[in-house]
Structure 1
Amino acid sequence: MRKNSIKNTRINGEVQKELSTIIRNEVKDPRIHPMTSVMAVEVAPDLKTCKAFISVLGNKEAKDATIQGLNKAEGYIRRQLAKNLNLRNTPEIRFILDESIEYGVNMSKLIDDVARRDASLGKTEEE
């Protein structure tokens, strides 16, 4: 199975949906922040490994604690994934902190600040 095949894309989507449900409803670790999202999942074509990109809305300590909690609960999450999905192999999950949303929000704020500053400078020059 190739990395970008239709089958692999469908498996990625199913694993992502199931991981989100497991993390939200079944994992009871207090370290895992309530505002945790599974942004993307990349399952290897041989179904042995999986990268789960996790986004956490919170400060640095909350993000670190959430990743630690998810790593500790990896065995449980993997077992639930095997129970809920019918895959030949249940992949080993690596949780990776995804900060792309936060980066995008910061960039958008910087662009707005520059636009606002340019607009105010333009008004003073016209007067």
Structure 2
Amino acid sequence: MARSRPIRPARVASVVREVIARTLTFDIKDPRVIGVTVSDLEVTGDLQEVRVYFHVDGGPQRVAEATAALERAAGFFRRAIGEQVRLRLTPRLIFRHDASLEYASRIEARLAELGLGAGAPK
């Protein structure tokens, strides 16, 4: 019998996302993370690695600053996760910028230029 995606990584992702978002909001004081939002998480099947996808407004310089700040705070996030999530090993965190919102904005702008946007007549 074939199994679908394991439930445990999905549950762990949900809790880890909550811990990271709360820690970002209330505990991290680095001004480079202001405006950073977690858009998605991927947890490996062995629960040892978490890819954290984030969004931040601004250009490439702002993204680089936010990435550096998040990577610098990775130990702080891991400690918070270790205190709040029952796992044998605290997963390694990998931070990646989620460019999907910018991509969607560019597509919408292009469609609007062509008169095919959401407000265009049918």
Question: What is the TM-score when the length of structure 1 is the normalising length?
Answer: 0.82
Q: Contact 1:48/1:92 (CA < 8 Å) preserved in 2?
A: yes
Question: Which residue is 2:45 aligned to?
Answer: 45
Report how many aligned residue pairs link the two structures: 114
Q: Contact 1:43/1:49 (CA < 8 Å) preserved in 2?
A: yes
Question: Which residue is 1:91 aligned to?
Answer: 91
Distance 1:100 1:64 in 2: 16
Q: Contact 1:3/1:44 (CA < 8 Å) preserved in 2?
A: no
1:20-63 deviation digits (Å, cap 9, x = unpaired): 1111211111222x211111111111111111011111222111
Distance 2:4 2:98 in 1: 21
> Residues 3 and 47 of structure 1: is their aligned pair in 2 closer, same or farther, counting only changes over 3 Å?
farther
Q: Contact 1:3/1:45 (CA < 8 Å) preserved in 2?
A: no
Distance 2:5 2:21 in 1: 22
How much has 1:86 moved relative to structure 2? 1.8
> Any unmatched runs of 5+ in structure 1?
117-127
- Say what the alpha-carbon RMSD is for the aligned residues: 1.7
Question: Which residue is 2:32 aligned to?
Answer: 31
1:74-123 deviation digits (Å, cap 9, x = unpaired): 1111101111222222100000111101110111111011117xxxxxxx
- Runs of 4+ with deviation above 3 angstroms: none
> Any unmatched runs of 5+ in structure 2?
117-122
**Aligned residue runs from structure 1 range 1-127, under 5 A:** 4-32=5-33, 34-115=34-115
Question: What is the TM-score when the length of structure 2 is the normalising length?
Answer: 0.85
> Residues 3 and 74 of structure 1: is their aligned pair in 2 closer, same or farther, counting only changes over 3 Å?
farther
Identity of aligned residues (%): 25
How much has 1:3 moved relative to structure 2? 8.5
